[in-house]
């Protein structure tokens, strides 16, 4: 689900993987791509950083809640 969320936000912003990685301060697109491909699972704090980078600096529309299941 996280991978889908990140890819959707990046695509909506019209960013390439390299541009998303650059916004995070990385020279390698692979550093960001691992999260988008689901090969790395970010902490909640890192998820907000990733989402803010691809969503134009605003992670305010990202809401995480605990499931009661």
- Domain-by-domain residue ranges, the chain? 2-54
Task: State in words which class domain 2-54 has.
Answer: mainly alpha
Residues 62, 52: Cα–Cα separation, whole Å: 9
0.75 exceeded by pTM: yes
Report which of 60, 52, 51 is spatially closest to residue 2, judged by C-alpha positions: 51
Residues 62, 27: Cα–Cα separation, whole Å: 26
pLDDT digits (tens, 9 = 90+) for 11-66: 999 999 999 999 999 988 998 999 999 999 999 889 889 998 988 766 556 666 66
């Amino acid at each position: 689900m996280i991978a889908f969320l990140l890819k959707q936000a990046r695509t909506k912003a019209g960013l390439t993987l390299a541009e998303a990685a650059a916004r995070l301060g990385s020279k390698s697109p692979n550093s960001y791509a691992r999260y988008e491909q689901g090969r790395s699972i970010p902490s909640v704090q890192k998820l907000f950083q990733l989402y803010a980078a691809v969503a134009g600096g605003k992670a305010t529309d990202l809401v995480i809640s605990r499931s009661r299941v």
